[in-house]
A and B are shown apart, each in its own frame.
Chain A
Amino acid sequence: MTNTTNPTAATVKPSFAPDTGVLRTMRKLHLPQKLRNRELALLLFACAINSVAILLVQLGATGAIDLNLLYLGAGLSVLVIGLHICLRYVAPRADPLLLPIATVLNGLGIAMIYRIDLAKSLSGWAAASTRQITWSAVAILAAIVVILVIRNYRVLFRYTYVFGALAFVLLLLPLVPGLGREVSGARVWISLGGFGSFQPGEIAKIALAVFFAGYLVRTRDSLSMVGKKFLGVRFPRLRDLGPILVVWALSMLIIVFQHDMGTALLYFGLFTVMLYIATGRLSWILIGFGLFGTGAFFAAQTLTYVQGRFQNWLDAFSPAVYDATGGSYQLVQGIFGLAQGGLIGTGLGQGRPQLTPLSQSDYIIASLGEELGLAGLFAILGLYLLFVSRGLRIGFAGQDDFGKLFAIGLAFTVALQVFIMVGGVTRVIPLTGLTTPFLAAGGSSLVANWIIVALLLRVSDSVKTGPASEVSA
């Protein structure tokens, strides 16, 4: 709109000048309108799917309809539509698919958690579904706050090192005596008094994404340009190895002290990939894999819990491993559940996902696979893939390196988390404790992932500046 008051144009064609301005403004307003309308339609569809899922769970498991849960679900629908309305005002060009995908995944997770609560005859605050709904509300509100407060994501770049320090503190919190809590061997929780517990590592991954992106944008030149060539691959100078060694050491500390292989793999994988994209140097990937592989190898040799995870993975069905304490019982039960589901599943509310331990959290994907079948799992994995690809697309279309790296980092954490969890449950890799984004029971994970949604929405809004980039929508 900078050229609407061109004095020469005004004198030559005085009657047309305002018209062009209006037309341009109209076009700019019209296209985002289209994006948001599309988002609204998909969002309503997502809410409809979620309501039907809850109804089917009730009919399948109890044969009766209990409206209370539907009211709570409707409350969440109101919140996501609230987020949608915010987007219309503060981020009208944001990607229209992210929000509906997150909504439907969150809803399916609630339906499955609720289904297992029914099987265990839990209700009220004892029921994980009630807590999950509450946390979903908190998470969506957090996303609204993020989208309203952070109007320009480049602000984050300014606080690169603050976020780095924040991530570090968050990671260390569970180790603080009196604050940290140990759950099934992993010390990754902090107590929130009466309100349960929180996994600060989930929030830390966002802070780390900011930090990595900011740091790499600042230092990428020295990390990518200098170094000796060896076997056709240019390797970095020794002193440039500093950052990757620090992150590696951090990951190893998490493995040793917090007993959390999944988180370590997530952070390290995230850093390595961002490093590679920032520098374009394959050697970083090789170094990263080498470091992590060596670390994991030694961990497997010395730490019994890591050893156990590998054994459960490789030899899950052997009776000795199956019957061992901390053995493959859970994993095999999850696989039995998946097998029971088969191609089309038992139907919501009609399987027995509750037979698998941790069926609401670590094994939520096995629970969904049992009742929705392979068809349902393909749909869920497809949704994740779409979500991640939208994130990567924002990276492609990004205007500045920080924005690109940041969006890719966020999208990649989701992809990596899905791979680590679903791959762990289906024996592609050893199972490690992480959360399946949006689906698994757990408040911190929900809050973190909804903030990721908000941040991706924010970045995508900024990259779509002209009509040319609308093609990608």
Chain B
Amino acid sequence: MNRELRRVSIVVLAMFAALFLSTTVIQVAQADALRLDSRNTRALYDSYDTERGPILAGGTVIAQSVPTGDQYAFQRQYPQGELYAPVTGYFNPTQGSAGIERYMNDYLSGTSNSQFLDTINRIIAGQAPKGAAVEVTIDPVVQQVAFDALGDRQGGVVAIEPSTGRILAMVSTPTYDPNVLASHDSQAVIDEYKALQADDLKPLSNRATSGDMNPPGSSFKIIVAAAALASGKYTADSEFPNPVSLQLPGSSSEVFNWTRAACGPGETVTLREALRQSCNVPMAELAIQLGDDAIREQAEKFGFNSEVSVPFPAGKSIYPSGLDDAKTGLTGFGQYEVRTTPLQMAMTSAAIGNDGELMAPTLVDRVTGRNLEVLSSFEPEVMAETLDEESCVELTQMMVNSVSDGQSNGARIEGVDVAGKTGTAQNGTDEPYSLWFTGFAPAENPEVAVAVVVENDGNLGHHSSGNIVAAPIAKKVIEAVLNK
């Protein structure tokens, strides 16, 4: 009997071994995968229980979680409302998220790898779960000025610190109130979201970094000029024929200057003068001489045709490829299929102002844990070497002329050299213009690079221009930075 009993004991042992194994497989080997299963509501409820970290801009709270009695435990609030919507985005426990809320979620929700030890400490200390605080690079004063300056116009503003890439302002109008989308009333949120999507003014798109992008118009001339200087074949004093109009090669269309006249009295016109007066004909001639490849190469150094994360992905600005001479000529003053964003144009100005060194733009300054320990801090990072220093100085001088006594004088500030360039881009016959300004100041040692776009003629009709509408907005933003 004992022999049989021994065998049965072994069977019992094997049965328990199977249980030890099966529990280990589920609780250790497969645990991570099971936690990620979309049907696993436990992970979801856990995320509700975590007090999401706040988002701060220079001491101003722009997103925070406050306790509620409902099953989600916390309600996300945006005390500044729509002012920071393009930066923070929104967070909804059931309906998704956007912006910093989405792309810094690991830190905000306390699940990033760098918070693992903190989680262990928390469990030992018996503290409630809490996410890390994200401090953004936005300067609240500059942000407010930019927002107020845009007013009820459709458009976007980006201001960057050229030496670091820190984004000081990011505004898009019209926009939405993130508080509405953060509501725990799912149906109300879905309805509101649908209404925002259906709105013709597209309040959900971030005009500062993406959205339906605009042609840059004459503001693109600085990139064509940069390509010319970089080639070594041109200087600010290089001369171009100065006709009233230019018949584009192999095409019936003609290019005119915005004045419908020649660019000054001479038979020829210099690059400097073309930029100062924002003449299209010489720029088209230059573009054709350079060829689309050279312009594209220069544009891509500034960031065109590639995506940049701030940390949410910004729209990819476009310089098209495979252009014939006629189309290349049109891109010489930022028309045809060239499309860009204020972020891209601000990056371009920032690079020129920073001796050709393009710093990677970012919104995130610092991430701090619950005990204010720094989990991650921003380090300036060179994104590209765009242009040699000598060319930068030459181009800056041309941009300064353009503002001081040229077609971009709407951004002139007493006692400060502002370098800049306006643009008044056509979107097709009878379509409203997109109005631009991009530049930096002070020209010698810039503290801020800025780009402004205003869509729909700035609500003024076809008599508006970048210099009338966009340049004054940029001026206010620059002043806000310099007056600090």
Contact = CB atoms under 8 A, between A and B. Distances in A.
B39 interface: yes
Contacts of B31: 339-340, 342
B5 interface: yes
B191 to A, nearest CB: 27
Contact of A412 (B8, B23, B25, B45): B8
Contacts of A444: none
Majority SS at the chain A contact face: helix
A404 B34 contact: no
Contacts of B121: none
Contacts of B34: 335-336, 339
A101 to B, nearest CB: 14
Interface stretch (B14-22, B147-155, B397-405): B14-22
Contacts of A369: 23, 26-27
A389 B9 contact: yes
Contact of A335 (B5, B24, B26, B123): B26
Given A337-B42, A401-B1, A428 B22 contact: yes
B28 A426 contact: no
B43 A273 contact: no
Interface of A: 273, 276-278, 280, 317, 322, 332, 335-343, 347, 351-352, 355, 369, 373-374, 377-378, 381, 384-385, 388-389, 392, 395-396, 401, 404, 408, 412, 415-416, 418-419, 422-423, 426-428
Nearest to B26: A338
Nearest to B18: A428
A374 B27 contact: yes
A199 B22 CA distance: 29
A278 B4 CA distance: 8
Contacts of B123: 347
Given A276-B8, A339-B31, A396-B5, A419 B39 contact: no
A392 B10 CA distance: 11
Given A276-B8, A280-B4, A415-B12, A339 B26 contact: yes
Given A381-B19, A412-B12, A339 B40 contact: yes
B23 A277 contact: no
Contacts of A340: 31, 35, 40, 42-43, 46
A336 B39 CA distance: 9
B103 to A, nearest CB: 26
Contact of B37 (A336, A337, A427): A336
Given A340-B31, A342-B28, A352-B45, 18 more contacts: A276-B8, A322-B39, A336-B39, A337-B42, A340-B40, A351-B42, A355-B45, A378-B20, A381-B16, A381-B19, A385-B12, A401-B1, A408-B5, A415-B12, A416-B15, A423-B22, A426-B26, A428-B18
Contacts of A373: 27
14 contacts: A280-B1, A280-B4, A339-B40, A355-B42, A385-B13, A385-B16, A392-B12, A404-B5, A412-B8, A412-B12, A419-B18, A422-B23, A426-B22, A426-B23
A338 B8 contact: no
Contacts of A343: 27-28
Q: 5 closest pairs, A vs B, by CB? A: A339-B34, A426-B22, A374-B27, A339-B31, A419-B15
A397 B385 CA distance: 86
B274 to A, nearest CB: 65
A342 B22 CA distance: 13
B2 interface: yes
A377 B35 contact: no
B41 interface: yes
Contact residue range for chain B?
20 to 34
A369 B23 CA distance: 9
Interface of B: 1-5, 8-9, 12-13, 15-16, 18-20, 22-28, 30-31, 34-35, 37, 39-43, 45-46, 123
Contacts of B27: 338-339, 341-343, 369, 373-374, 377
Contacts of A426: 19, 22-23, 25-26
Contact of A374 (B8, B24, B42): B24
Contacts of B26: 335, 338-339, 369, 426-427
A336 B40 CA distance: 6
Majority SS at the chain B contact face: helix
B42 A404 contact: no
Given A277-B1, A385-B16, A428-B22, A339 B35 contact: yes
Contacts of B9: 389, 392
Given A276-B8, A418-B19, A396 B2 contact: yes
A418 B123 CA distance: 32
Contacts of A352: 42, 45
A404 B1 contact: yes
Contacts of A401: 1
Residue among B1, B37, B43 facing the most chain A CB atoms (10 A cut-off): B1
B23 A381 contact: yes
Nearest to A339: B34
A384 B12 CA distance: 11
B69 to A, nearest CB: 14
Nearest to A415: B12
Contacts of B35: 336, 339-340
Given A340-B35, A384-B16, A428-B22, A408 B8 contact: yes
A355 B26 CA distance: 18
B47 to A, nearest CB: 12
B305 to A, nearest CB: 41
B16 A338 contact: no
A332 B34 CA distance: 10
A423 B18 contact: yes
Nearest to A278: B1
Residue among B1, B27, B123 facing the most chain A CB atoms (10 A cut-off): B27
A443 to B, nearest CB: 25
Residue among B12, B28, B40, B41 facing the most chain A CB atoms (10 A cut-off): B12
Nearest to A336: B40
Nearest to A343: B28
A34 B276 CA distance: 105
Contacts of A395: 5
A404 B3 CA distance: 13
B70 to A, nearest CB: 16
Nearest to A398: B1
Contacts of A396: 2, 5
A385 B45 CA distance: 35
Contacts of A392: 5, 8-9, 12
Contacts of B45: 352, 355
Contacts of B24: 374
B42 to A, nearest CB: 5
A328 to B, nearest CB: 11
Contacts of A347: 123
Contacts of B39: 322, 332, 336
B466 to A, nearest CB: 55
Contact of B8 (A277, A336, A351, A378): A277
Nearest to B15: A419
Nearest to A317: B37
Contacts of B12: 385, 388-389, 392, 412, 415
